[in-house]
Chain A
Amino acid sequence: MPIQSRNFKAAPMIILLSLLSLPLLIMCFYLIVDTITNTQPGTLIPDEITFEHWRFLWQTTENSSANIWRVTLNTFVFSITTATTILAISLTAGYALSRLNIPFRRFFLSGLIMLHAFPTITLIIAIFLILQTLGLYDSLIGVIMVKSALELPFGIWIMKGFYDNVPWEIEMAGVQDGASRFTVWRKLVLPQVQPGMMALLVFSFLTAWSELVLPLVLAPGNKSQVLSVYLATMLADESSIDFNLMKSVGLFYVIPVIITYMIFQRKLMNIYGGGTKG
């Protein structure tokens, strides 16, 4: 029974880790419980079940004038467009950097690493001014462009790593078989980096979903608001803070993330594995 004995050996570690993460677990538990119950001050046991904390779904609340469904749609548009933009550009740029003999290749590569490490917040004023000049301030397109641009170095770098692992011979063989470089890339190379594609797509979607600073500064208006900003505006209004309402919005905000993780968690692991399996 090797599996069982291994489990027993790990038991002390599991208990220790459980104890350490207990506060988090309790918070998560109450996050869910509090959204559908009311609890009297001074006690931990809820005394009534209610759906009033979810009222933001069917009416505008006192804290925010934006419509939740509009905001949710915005968030999806923002996240999906950003993720696909990042993927499309990373796929092509990563290939070029990995394979093509382009001028200034080394310069681009070191530039990528530097940009990746660059703190976004320092750029925010410049970006704000640029967007305002271009007339893209307070629009989804503007934030999408900015967010994609800022995530690109990471995406390109990851994809380049995946391309680097595809054997040269496969491409040479494709060319010998009479296929153009583009066909070789699309039919022979892309399938090899598919794990990377999936991982990058999901990863970009999640980072865009959780992005707060850029939309808050660049698209704060009701028309282009996203969920993170919606939640933040609730917090900012100190006069009438309703914690249970906030918890409900928070839960609503996090559900797509959890679902995405559950579906794609194995593929997401690939992003740091970076290998192809035959």
Chain B
Amino acid sequence: MKIELRNFTKRFDGQAVVDNVSLTIESGEMIALLGPSGCGKSTSLFSICGIHRMDEGQLLFGDKDVTNLPSQKRNVGVVFQNYALYPHMSIFENIAFPLVVQKADRATIRRKVADIAELVQISDLLERKPANISGGQQQRTALARALIRRPDVLLLDEPLANLDAKLRLEMRSEIRRIQSETGITAILVTHDQVEAMSICDRIALMQKGKVVQLDKPREMYANPANMFVAEFLGNPPIRFMPAELHENQMIAGGAALPRPQHLKQSNLPDKINLGIRPEHFGPQFGNEISGHILAIETQGRENLYDVALSDGGVLCSIQPANDHLNPGDTIQWGIASQHLLAFDGQGERI
């Protein structure tokens, strides 16, 4: 179902935590609310499921205005960060609870629970108590409980934060699989950009109560709206360095570089900030920039180099693993000028 948030504002003690946010989520789409802690993403989530009242704005599920409906009357499934399973009930009773509340008959409940348990692959755990299953299985149970009513929208609040690294990868793809198999509209709240980029159709990046950019992951990575977005996406993160634009060249990182094609317009400010991602700096792009290696981090498949430039700036480079270089070595590398991201003094993209 299509979910629409119109001019949504939420205040706590007069302070706007979410400020005039509008967001449309297409039917069957999975969208991520991404941002640092305190950006208003969880507040938005709790307002959509009805735990928080919206101070201003409208919320539509399909064509239906649910702004003033209590949680119980909105058909929303929620997976909480700590799963919030009911500890005194078995897995079966946990999953069945939404149906029991609806007073569904026993046969229906048994059939539906069996179906959903099969979908999330916990069919053989139904008799156990939540305390006796693993974190990943608790997560699956929480998903099953959220999905059993066939909700209009599925809300996931940091669903992977409590899992260890390996399970996180597994559950990440599981959530995506279950979401696409059920075709349900889903909103994922997370502070982890990898999580958001890897399983969501679109990302809404939030900062200080506003949506800074709403785009497909690939698009947002390649074309960030400002320095905040550029820095938030990508691991290892993007590095910035100041640059001076002259008529035909550009002074940056202690070197004179040709002015890149996409920065040829004459109406640009003289002083700008350049954002350079690690994969766009290295020996394969030329040799205009000189510096020496500060540190090397080996990640198995790749090496990560921190390079100090002659003007004091630091860039990061990621390259296929090799043993040619040591910390302290001087290098002459280049940058892929067509991928340079330029920002003005306020941090907005040029």
Enumerate chain A interface residues (CB-CB to B < 8 A): 167, 169-170, 172-180, 183, 188, 191-192, 276, 278
Enumerate chain B interface residues (CB-CB to A < 8 A): 49-51, 71-72, 76-78, 80-88, 97-98, 101-102, 129-131, 145-146, 149
Instruction: Tell me the complex Cα distance, A176–B78, Å.
Output: 7
With beta carbons under 8 angstroms apart, the residue of A169, A176, A183, A192 that contacts B76 is A176
Nearest Cβ distance between residue A237 and chain B, in whole angstroms?
A: 54
B51 touches A178 (CB 8 A): no
Instruction: Tell me the complex Cα distance, A106–B83, Å.
Output: 31
B101 touches A172 (CB 8 A): no
Extra contacts, 17 of them, besides A173-B145, A175-B72, A278-B130 (Cβ < 8 A), are A167-B84, A169-B84, A172-B78, A172-B84, A173-B84, A173-B86, A174-B97, A176-B49, A176-B77, A176-B146, A177-B98, A177-B101, A177-B145, A178-B102, A183-B101, A191-B86, A278-B131
Residues of A within 8 A of B78 (CB): 172-173, 176
Nearest Cβ distance between residue A193 and chain B, in whole angstroms?
A: 11
Nearest Cβ distance between residue A206 and chain B, in whole angstroms?
A: 27
Residues of A within 8 A of B98 (CB): 177-178
Instruction: Tell me the complex Cα distance, A167–B102, Å.
Output: 24
Residues of B within 8 A of A170 (CB): 84, 86
Residue ID in chain A nearest B129 by CB atoms: A278
A278 touches B145 (CB 8 A): no
Nearest Cβ distance between residue B69 and chain A, in whole angstroms?
A: 12
With beta carbons under 8 angstroms apart, the residue of B80, B86, B87, B97 that contacts A172 is B80
Instruction: Tell me the complex Cα distance, A167–B86, Å.
Output: 10
Instruction: Tell me the complex Cα distance, A278–B84, Å.
Output: 12
Instruction: Tell me the complex Cα distance, A172–B45, Å.
Output: 13
With A173-B78, A183-B101, A278-B129 as given contacts, are A178 and B84 in contact (CB-CB < 8 Å)? no
Residues of B within 8 A of A177 (CB): 97-98, 101, 145, 149
Instruction: Tell me the complex Cα distance, A167–B83, Å.
Output: 11
With beta carbons under 8 angstroms apart, the residue of A167, A178, A191 that contacts B101 is A178
With beta carbons under 8 angstroms apart, the residue of B80, B81, B149 that contacts A178 is B149
Instruction: Tell me the complex Cα distance, A46–B5, Å.
Output: 89
Residues of B within 8 A of A178 (CB): 72, 98, 101-102, 149
Instruction: Tell me the complex Cα distance, A170–B97, Å.
Output: 12
Dominant SS at the A interface? helix
- The 13 listed contacts between A and B (C-beta, < 8 Å) are A170-B84, A172-B51, A173-B86, A175-B71, A177-B98, A178-B72, A178-B102, A178-B149, A179-B101, A180-B72, A191-B86, A276-B87, A278-B87
Residues of B within 8 A of A191 (CB): 86, 88
Nearest Cβ distance between residue A267 and chain B, in whole angstroms?
A: 16
User: Chain B CB within 10 Å — which of A167, A175, A177, A188 has the most?
Assistant: A177
Residues of B within 8 A of A278 (CB): 87, 129-131
Residues of A within 8 A of B87 (CB): 192, 276, 278
A173 touches B80 (CB 8 A): yes
B71 touches A176 (CB 8 A): yes
Instruction: Tell me the complex Cα distance, A84–B83, Å.
Output: 34
Nearest Cβ distance between residue A227 and chain B, in whole angstroms?
A: 38
Residue ID in chain A nearest B87 by CB atoms: A278
Nearest Cβ distance between residue B56 and chain A, in whole angstroms?
A: 21
Residue ID in chain B nearest A169 by CB atoms: B84
Nearest Cβ distance between residue B71 and chain A, in whole angstroms?
A: 5
Residues of A within 8 A of B72 (CB): 175, 178-180
Nearest Cβ distance between residue B84 and chain A, in whole angstroms?
A: 4
A192 touches B71 (CB 8 A): no
Residues of B within 8 A of A176 (CB): 49-51, 71, 76-78, 146
Instruction: Tell me the complex Cα distance, A167–B88, Å.
Output: 13
Residue ID in chain A nearest B86 by CB atoms: A188
User: Chain A CB within 10 Å — which of B49, B72, B129 has the most?
Assistant: B72
A175 touches B51 (CB 8 A): yes
Residue ID in chain A nearest B149 by CB atoms: A178
Nearest Cβ distance between residue B114 and chain A, in whole angstroms?
A: 19
Residues of A within 8 A of B86 (CB): 170, 173-174, 188, 191
Residue ID in chain B nearest A188 by CB atoms: B86
A192 touches B80 (CB 8 A): no
Instruction: Tell me the complex Cα distance, A263–B82, Å.
Output: 36
Residue ID in chain A nearest B132 by CB atoms: A278
Residues of A within 8 A of B51 (CB): 172, 175-176
Nearest Cβ distance between residue A126 and chain B, in whole angstroms?
A: 43
Instruction: Tell me the complex Cα distance, A176–B49, Å.
Output: 7
Residues of A within 8 A of B76 (CB): 176
With A180-B72, A192-B87, A278-B87 as given contacts, are A167 and B82 in contact (CB-CB < 8 Å)? yes
Residue ID in chain A nearest B88 by CB atoms: A191
Nearest Cβ distance between residue A84 and chain B, in whole angstroms?
A: 23
Nearest Cβ distance between residue A173 and chain B, in whole angstroms?
A: 4
Residues of A within 8 A of B71 (CB): 175-176
Nearest Cβ distance between residue B106 and chain A, in whole angstroms?
A: 17
Nearest Cβ distance between residue B93 and chain A, in whole angstroms?
A: 10
Residues of B within 8 A of A188 (CB): 86
Nearest Cβ distance between residue B313 and chain A, in whole angstroms?
A: 46
Residues of B within 8 A of A169 (CB): 80-84
Instruction: Tell me the complex Cα distance, A94–B22, Å.
Output: 40
Residues of B within 8 A of A180 (CB): 72
Nearest Cβ distance between residue A190 and chain B, in whole angstroms?
A: 9
Instruction: Tell me the complex Cα distance, A173–B83, Å.
Output: 9
Residue ID in chain B nearest A190 by CB atoms: B88
Residue ID in chain B nearest A166 by CB atoms: B87
Instruction: Tell me the complex Cα distance, A278–B88, Å.
Output: 7
Instruction: Tell me the complex Cα distance, A175–B80, Å.
Output: 13
Instruction: Tell me the complex Cα distance, A170–B131, Å.
Output: 14
Nearest Cβ distance between residue B285 and chain A, in whole angstroms?
A: 50
Nearest Cβ distance between residue B125 and chain A, in whole angstroms?
A: 15
Residues of B within 8 A of A167 (CB): 82, 84
